[in-house]
Chain A
Amino acid sequence: MKFVDEYRHGDLVKPLAERLRNTTITRPVRVMEVCGTHTMSIFRSGVRTIMPAGMEIVSGPGCPVCVTSASHMDAFIEMAGKKDVRVAIYGDLFRVPGTHGSLAQASAKGATVDIVYSAMDALERARQHPNELVVFLGVGFETTTPGIAATIMAAARENIDNFCVFSTQKVIPGPLDALMQDPELSIDGLICPGHVSAIIGAKAYQPFVDSYGLACVVAGFEPADLLKALLLLSEQINEGTPRVDNIYPRVVSWEGNQRAIAMMDEVFEPVDMQWRGLGVIPASGLGIRDTYRQFDAQKRLSITLPEAHEPKGCLCGKVLKGITTPPHCPLFGTRCTPATPVGPCMVSSEGTCAAYHKYGQSESI
């Protein structure tokens, strides 16, 4: 498979792995990744088992499902139960617990919940079910936003009246900045999210180099990408020369995808957004502009977000900030497992807790 096999091939990755294993780290360093796919790839490829002594990888708030607040989940679940509403979601969201139950449980009680692969699929459902209101739950970062914008623009063009989007779309740079200012967290380097960067461009991380001296590498998701990223980060940190290295030029440019950005701007505008574990961060979310208000589920169905609390004892908030790791949570592996998730980081396959539960114990091999 082109663009996959060559970045996994032993001839390429084994020497890189050997170099990483033998890298000397001059002082303890922490690097963060902020993308669920990076979290999973790091575990899947076994990178954690060959990290050089003194270098630690932590996972930040990069899994869109995990940072979806409990009150948003509650609103989703309530909406799914409404008559003549068909909710369309990405599969990950299905089992995420709200305060009372999940969309999976709502579905078992009779709510109509369709798992789709894109917003365009949801629009297709609206065409197929003209007597129902199809609500697509927008849960994602810049990666998925342009596709949703394109879908809303298509719905507007075709005058499809029974389709709307409940947007909890979020942006990455703002919350990253908030994290950098958190005194509890000390991060030396960042594996910048490959998919998000395809849209916003590698230049989005230059301010972090300038303001915080953060070492930044924009990386893809194959073992070779990850190994190279960690090698470059250790080099930047060791030499005290932080900069933005883009080692994912097959997908990411410095400027980003201008056409996608224009589409996002056409449909969405910055709004304050609630993040699980991080609270409300100003202008960190994307709401639907007034021009497209008929496609805004919150306006159309007059939804107000219910008050909701994080589950008792759940440390997802701290895990999302990279302040603690899942095994330190009292619920991890006991009350909270992939089969019976308490917090969102366990339910999403990209979640840090799910990754630790699924692959993590191998660190002790």
Chain B
Amino acid sequence: MKEPTILLDHGSGGLASQELISEVFVKHLGNPVLNDMEDSAVLAAQSGRLAFTTDSYVVDPLFFPGGDIGCLAVHGTINDLAMRGARPICLSLGFILEEGFALAELTRIVSSISAATRACEVPIVTGDTKVVPRGKADKVFINTSGIGVIDETIELSAGKVRPGDTIIVSGSIGDHGITIMTRRAGLSLGGDLHSDTMPLHRLTAHVLAAVPGAVHAMRDPTRGGVATTLNEIAARAGATIVLEDELLPIRAEVRAACEILGLEPLYLANEGKCLAAVAGDQADAVVEAMRATTEGKEARIIGRVEAGSARVVINTPIGGSRIVTALHGEPLPRIC
């Protein structure tokens, strides 16, 4: 291909489209099912219930410390499956490209997707590409959908969370959100700020097998952060979640950046963390199981579920407390 940028022709379905598909997508993502190039992928019959999820990725900047929109689109959808206890078996991949987008950047994104799917051992089995005129989209948007299989013995849902449960997080919070926000603001802060984007299906599979029946619900606290996700769980459970401020795992760099920008780590997005509500008497075993995985080395207990109205409360270091509400609107930086 000679053109260094994406043209409207690449989305036409004609020769240019086919060239893009074979030179970029199939070259990097090829596997027996995808290589068929038929109108839909045909999958082998599965035993167990199916989980099905979809998510769209519009992150700006496209490339950031710790990852890029490509691996994020793979990890995000795999994690949504994993949170229901599903074993991901395949993904779809849809691209909306803006006319004029650099082909080199697209190739970089696709090769990142390729690396992520290989590392996760979850193939892309079907895909689509559209090109829209310049200005009608911002560089590149990605949609991925995923199918997973859930073992008959597993039933995870926020509705199963009850007083006496313990809240566990699989690692430090706020890393992805603060990395994106500082990049967007053009701030270069000291310290190693990077996204935590990573797949969690191995962590969840290990925990569910190691401590059967202990986990009542799992969620990945992406947009809206831990605060918003826990509010959703509290609402479904009809109970109060009590967090301990001093137990929240927040990396020093993340805390410093949040102090400077006037942001709260509890509201920042995570892309490689799992919140779990687990039976109180098995909490230590779940933490131990998480810590046995590379993804959950820093797992720890951060709070508990108590009888009471559906809300999230945090106990502060001075011995006071406050309500933690869900996020309203985009987090905006403050004046002073």
Hey, which bits of chain A sit against chain B, CB under 8 A? 1, 4, 8-10, 13-14, 16-18, 21, 36-37, 43-50, 64-65, 90-92, 94-95, 115, 117, 121, 139-141, 143-144, 195, 223, 227, 337-339, 348-350, 357-362, 365
- Known A1-B259, A115-B333; contact A49-B328, beta-carbon cutoff 8 A: no
Chain B 298-319: CB-based contact to A (< 8 A → 1; otherwise 0): 0000000000000101011111
Chain B 225-260: CB-based contact to A (< 8 A → 1; otherwise 0): 000000000000000000000100000100110010
- Which residues of chain B come closer than 8 Å to A143, judged between CB atoms? 336
Residue B45 at the A interface, CB < 8 A? no
Residue B42 at the A interface, CB < 8 A? no
Q: Please tell me if the beta carbons of A43 and B322 are within 8 angstroms of each other in the complex.
A: yes
Q: Please tell me if the beta carbons of A17 and B334 are within 8 angstroms of each other in the complex.
A: no
Q: Please tell me if the beta carbons of A358 and B325 are within 8 angstroms of each other in the complex.
A: yes
- Which residues of chain B come closer than 8 Å to A4, judged between CB atoms? 255, 259
CB distance from A59 to the nearest CB of B (A): 15
Q: Please tell me if the beta carbons of A362 and B321 are within 8 angstroms of each other in the complex.
A: yes
Q: Please tell me if the beta carbons of B323 and A360 are within 8 angstroms of each other in the complex.
A: yes
A44 to B334, CA, bound (A): 15
- Known A339-B328, A361-B323; contact A16-B318, beta-carbon cutoff 8 A: yes
Candidate in A14, A95, A365 with the most chain B CB atoms within 10 angstroms: A365
Name 19 interchain pairs, CB-CB below 8 A, sorted by A: A1-B259, A14-B317, A14-B319, A17-B318, A43-B322, A46-B315, A46-B316, A90-B333, A90-B335, A92-B332, A92-B333, A94-B332, A115-B333, A139-B335, A144-B335, A350-B334, A350-B335, A357-B325, A358-B325
A67 to B196, CA, bound (A): 39
- Known A1-B252, A1-B255; contact A50-B320, beta-carbon cutoff 8 A: yes
A327 to B22, CA, bound (A): 62
Q: Please tell me if the beta carbons of B329 and A227 are within 8 angstroms of each other in the complex.
A: no
On chain B, the number of residues with a Cβ less than 8 Å from chain A's Cβ atoms is 29
Q: Out of B313, B318, B323, B333, which one reaches A47, CB within 8 Å? A: B318
Interface of A is mostly: helix
- Known A143-B336, A349-B332, A350-B334; contact A362-B323, beta-carbon cutoff 8 A: yes
A230 to B332, CA, bound (A): 30
Residue B187 at the A interface, CB < 8 A? yes
CB distance from B288 to the nearest CB of A (A): 26
Q: Please tell me if the beta carbons of B318 and A223 are within 8 angstroms of each other in the complex.
A: yes
Residue B185 at the A interface, CB < 8 A? yes
A51 to B319, CA, bound (A): 11
A357 to B323, CA, bound (A): 9
A115 to B334, CA, bound (A): 10
A356 to B323, CA, bound (A): 10
Instruction: Give the residue name and chain of the B residue nearest to A48 (CB).
Output: B320
- Which residues of chain B come closer than 8 Å to A350, judged between CB atoms? 334-335
Residue B262 at the A interface, CB < 8 A? yes
A359 to B312, CA, bound (A): 10
CB distance from B257 to the nearest CB of A (A): 10
- Which residues of chain B come closer than 8 Å to A338, judged between CB atoms? 328-329
Q: Please tell me if the beta carbons of B313 and A13 are within 8 angstroms of each other in the complex.
A: no
CB distance from A26 to the nearest CB of B (A): 24
Instruction: Give the residue name and chain of the B residue nearest to A196 (CB).
Output: B336
- Known A91-B333, A92-B332; contact A44-B323, beta-carbon cutoff 8 A: no
- Which residues of chain A come closer than 8 Å to B316, judged between CB atoms? 44-46, 223
Q: Out of B311, B315, B333, which one reaches A117, CB within 8 Å? A: B333
Q: Out of A21, A64, A140, A365, which one reaches B321, CB within 8 Å? A: A365
Candidate in A45, A95, A141 with the most chain B CB atoms within 10 angstroms: A45
A360 to B324, CA, bound (A): 10
Q: Out of A50, A139, A362, which one reaches B318, CB within 8 Å? A: A50
A352 to B296, CA, bound (A): 39
Q: Please tell me if the beta carbons of A223 and B317 are within 8 angstroms of each other in the complex.
A: yes
- Which residues of chain B come closer than 8 Å to A339, judged between CB atoms? 328-329
Given contacts A50-B319, A91-B334, 15 further A-B contacts (CB under 8 A): A4-B255, A36-B336, A37-B334, A43-B322, A90-B335, A91-B335, A92-B332, A92-B333, A115-B185, A117-B333, A121-B186, A338-B328, A338-B329, A359-B322, A365-B313
CB distance from A266 to the nearest CB of B (A): 22
- Which residues of chain A come closer than 8 Å to B336, judged between CB atoms? 36-37, 64, 140-141, 143-144, 195
